[in-house]
Chains A and B, each alone.
Chain A
Amino acid sequence: MAKNNFLGLRQKSSGILASLLCILIGLAIGLVALFIINFQHAWGDGFIRIIQGGFYDFPYGVGKTLTSAAPLIMTGLSVAFAFKTGLFNIGAAGQYTLGAFGALYCALMLGLPWYLCLLAATLFGAVWGAIPGIFKAYLNINEVITSIMFNWIGLYLVNEIVYARGTGAMYDAHNTRTWKLATNAPQALIPSCGMSELFHTNNTTIAIFLAIVVAIVVWVVLDKTTFGYELKAVGLNKNAAKYAGINEKKNIILSMTIAGALAGFGAGLFYLSGGGEWNPLNSTSLPAMGFNGIATALLAGSHPIGTIFSSLFISHITVGGSFLPTKYFPTEIADLISGIIIYLCAFSMLFRGRIEKLLLRDQDKTNVNAEPAKPKKEGV
């Protein structure tokens, strides 16, 4: 990113405007869908509730938003970090799965305190992120393909270990989930520090603050350190970076490892807050948190601080969607809106270009500092 010069500022504002435009179009299409499904109730019982989000049921709903925003910020950061270094981490879901396993294993089987469980989640995620990095660095295999394969391998692996044909020690056959942390491993719960009482929920913890701190750290590392500069340089042009004396193989692996660690940390935040239990019988879908991370990262233009806001927004409308009266509307309207938003974000560079032209017609500088371009060609 350019420093405090005019170009950088202009780019930032156009980026934010492009994201806002994506959001507006997404909401508009969602509104149309609501009107088609149930014309009478579309506005008051539909659209307004989605916009209100958690505030519809204050303070409980806001607590819910914060609980789900914390892991979402982390998976968003995971994807954003990889984007900044020229990689597409579609594997956040798999890294999140492994992170969840690490956290739950340490909590339920080893009885470790929450900070060690969180560390374990981070490490497990990091390992699962490192694998596509190694495949990419040494065998030149596109990280997207490897990540997709390892998403599913991870899901089946974790399910196998947790379930173990119904005999797994972490598995509560009665609820068909892993044991609840609150009853079986209260030492592993992230401290609430009064947040749960404040929001009348039982799973709002300081996780959201941890996530924000990590986001700031990621921003500092990427934008203010030599290490971050090297990672980004490899993403922008692998060969130029190599020529400049940067070890590009090491940096690719490091980028993916860090991205994996961030996603694993997010899983730790969710499961150690008591946000839910793992269901090892679900072998048909990966955790949505991983894919929603792609949405928040894109919406934030891969900016770590922006990821905080985009994650809060996505959680906000998702919680809003869950408050829709189910007799009129399916709650998946919120997923529809976020899906449309990412689809639009995929070509938001185009919006960005248009907005820039509108903003400053007299400036004819080209946008040289755009997102790191995808590397030109890899063997898949």
Chain B
Amino acid sequence: MLLLIKYTLLYGIVLMLVALGGMFSEHSGVINIALEGIMVIGGLAGVLVVAALPAGTSPAILVALAILVAAAAGMVYALLLAFASIHLKADQTVGGTALNMLATAIAIILAKNFNGSTSAKISYTNKAFLFNIGGLELSVFIPLGLVLLIVSYVVMYKTRFGLRLRACGEHPQAANSVGISVYTMRYCGVLISGLLGGIGGLAYVIPSVQTWNFEVGVAGTGFLALAVMIFGQWKPINIFGAAMFFAVFKSLANIADSTILAQLGWSNNIYNMMPFIASMVILAFTSKNSMAPKAEGIPYDKSSR
């Protein structure tokens, strides 16, 4: 049971962070399919920092530096999406797909180059990221994630910036007519999604194991986060709930065999499948009354009405 709680929290926080990233991007009007790629790049950058720093570095500096670098790398990578889809008016889904493919290739090349060998596995110590509460081993990403959740909520609903961001996703022409720069807002949205996605990538890779093989990337977590975002109806608190709900299934996939649930005889494939099916069902029932930002996916063109 303790194990289930641990896995659920660890994985749920990852899903929540990345889904919140997706939420910011979509509220600004840009569909961010590239979350998967952003996670890979963020995770890689953070892990490289952890692996490259000398052994004597103080844990606090190590953790802070790794998270900052992961966030920065995610933002830089998201900038590629922002540039293509905002300035060059590229098809957002196509650009995002390209970035996902590119991310895996870049990660493998950099990992192999870092190792100087043909293996894309990077080893590191994750001690600095973990702490213990009553026998429950948790990572620093859990408090960090909760703080970011609150910050996201406040930014989205209690600030002028959040209101403007959402205006750009709902009706960019109207937003522009009252003097809001749609381009700037959309850049902000995508960059925030890069920041959260990058941290999410590191949070996915670091806490559970001491070696990561970058050939597997982040195993579809970015896409799952997209499902979480939809399931959470593009709202921060709902996204938190959806992320935990999805994480329970994912954790069950890992540990079902060692619990009482083994008697059901379901394999991990079935648990893995469930969140995706659940989000399709939700989509089907809410499609008539969708909470999705109205203008997402449409490049903003000043001259169109």
Interface residues of A (CB under 8 A from B): 33, 37, 88, 90, 135, 139-142, 144-146, 148-153, 156-157, 159-160, 163-165, 283-286, 291-292, 294-295, 298, 326-327, 330, 332-333, 335-336, 338-340, 342-343, 345-347, 349-350, 374, 376-377, 379-380
Chain A residues, Cβ within 8 Å of B104: 332, 335
Q: How far is the CB of B180 from chain A (nearest CB, A)?
A: 20
- Contact partner of B102 (CB less than 8 A), chosen from A165, A285, A343, is A343
Question: How many angstroms from the CA of A244 to the CA of B26 in the assembled complex?
Answer: 34
Question: How many angstroms from the CA of A90 to the CA of B292 in the assembled complex?
Answer: 20
Chain B residues, Cβ within 8 Å of A156: 269-270, 272-273
Given contacts A156-B273, A376-B298, contact A149 B109 (CB under 8 A): no
Q: Are B105 and A153 within 8 A (Cβ)?
A: no
Q: Are B219 and A285 within 8 A (Cβ)?
A: yes
Q: Are B91 and A346 within 8 A (Cβ)?
A: yes
Beyond A135-B280, A336-B102, A347-B90: 12 further Cβ-contacts under 8 Å? Answer: A135-B284, A145-B283, A156-B270, A283-B268, A284-B216, A332-B112, A333-B105, A338-B101, A339-B99, A340-B102, A342-B94, A380-B283
Q: Are B99 and A347 within 8 A (Cβ)?
A: no
Chain B residues, Cβ within 8 Å of A164: 267
List 16 contacting pairs A-B, 8 Å CB cutoff, sorted by A: A37-B109, A88-B91, A146-B283, A148-B227, A149-B227, A149-B280, A152-B223, A163-B267, A163-B269, A286-B220, A330-B118, A332-B109, A335-B101, A339-B102, A376-B298, A377-B294
Q: What sequence of 0s and 1s flags, for each residue 109-123 of chain B, a beta carbon within 8 Å of any chain A beta carbon? A: 100110000101000
Q: Are B105 and A332 within 8 A (Cβ)?
A: yes
Q: How far is the CB of B219 from chain A (nearest CB, A)?
A: 4
Q: Are A342 and B98 within 8 A (Cβ)?
A: yes
Question: How many angstroms from the CA of A153 to the CA of B292 in the assembled complex?
Answer: 23
Q: Are A380 and B292 within 8 A (Cβ)?
A: yes
Q: Are B94 and A298 within 8 A (Cβ)?
A: yes
Q: Are A284 and B219 within 8 A (Cβ)?
A: yes
Q: What sequence of 0s and 1s flags, for each residue 54-91 of chain B, a beta carbon within 8 Å of any chain A beta carbon? A: 00000000000000000000000000100010001111
* Shortest Cβ-Cβ A-B pairs, 7 listed: A339-B102, A379-B290, A347-B90, A284-B219, A335-B105, A343-B98, A160-B269
Within 8 A of A (CB), among B280-303: 280, 283-284, 287-288, 290, 292, 294-298
Asked if B95 is at the interface of the complex by the 8 Å CB criterion, the answer is yes
Chain A residues, Cβ within 8 Å of B272: 152, 156, 283
Q: Are A379 and B109 within 8 A (Cβ)?
A: no
- Contact partner of A336 (CB less than 8 A), chosen from B31, B91, B106, B224, is B106
Chain B residues, Cβ within 8 Å of A153: 273, 276-277, 280
Q: Are A379 and B287 within 8 A (Cβ)?
A: yes
Task: Report which residue of B94, B95, B290, B298 has the largest number of chain A beta carbons within 10 angstroms of its beta carbon.
Answer: B94
Question: How many angstroms from the CA of A259 to the CA of B52 in the assembled complex?
Answer: 46
Q: How far is the CB of A327 from chain B (nearest CB, A)?
A: 8
Given contacts A148-B226, A152-B276, A159-B269, contact A294 B102 (CB under 8 A): no
- Contact partner of B33 (CB less than 8 A), chosen from A140, A144, A152, is A144
Chain A residues, Cβ within 8 Å of B84: 343, 346-347
Given contacts A141-B287, A160-B267, A283-B269, contact A148 B98 (CB under 8 A): no
Interface size on B, residues (CB 8 A): 56
Q: How far is the CB of A41 from chain B (nearest CB, A)?
A: 14
Given contacts A146-B280, A346-B84, A380-B290, contact A336 B95 (CB under 8 A): no
Nearest chain B residue, comparing its CB with the CB of A143: B93
Q: How far is the CB of A20 from chain B (nearest CB, A)?
A: 18
Q: How far is the CB of B227 from chain A (nearest CB, A)?
A: 6
Q: Are A145 and B230 within 8 A (Cβ)?
A: yes
Nearest chain A residue, comparing its CB with the CB of B106: A336
Chain A residues, Cβ within 8 Å of B269: 156-157, 159-160, 163, 283
Q: How far is the CB of B279 from chain A (nearest CB, A)?
A: 6
Chain A residues, Cβ within 8 Å of B108: 330, 332, 335
Chain A residues, Cβ within 8 Å of B109: 33, 37, 330, 332-333, 336
Question: How many angstroms from the CA of A346 to the CA of B91 in the assembled complex?
Answer: 6
Question: How many angstroms from the CA of A376 to the CA of B268 in the assembled complex?
Answer: 39
Chain B residues, Cβ within 8 Å of A285: 216-217, 219-220
Chain B residues, Cβ within 8 Å of A149: 227, 276-277, 279-280
Nearest chain A residue, comparing its CB with the CB of B290: A379
Asked if B97 is at the interface of the complex by the 8 Å CB criterion, the answer is yes
Q: How far is the CB of B74 from chain A (nearest CB, A)?
A: 17
Given contacts A141-B287, A377-B298, contact A346 B33 (CB under 8 A): no
Nearest chain A residue, comparing its CB with the CB of B80: A343
Nearest chain B residue, comparing its CB with the CB of A165: B267
Chain B residues, Cβ within 8 Å of A283: 219, 268-269, 272
Nearest chain B residue, comparing its CB with the CB of A286: B220
Chain A residues, Cβ within 8 Å of B230: 145, 380
Q: How far is the CB of A358 from chain B (nearest CB, A)?
A: 18
Question: How many angstroms from the CA of A215 to the CA of B69 in the assembled complex?
Answer: 46
Given contacts A156-B272, A326-B118, A342-B97, contact A347 B267 (CB under 8 A): no
Question: How many angstroms from the CA of A164 to the CA of B98 in the assembled complex?
Answer: 34
Question: How many angstroms from the CA of A327 to the CA of B116 in the assembled complex?
Answer: 9
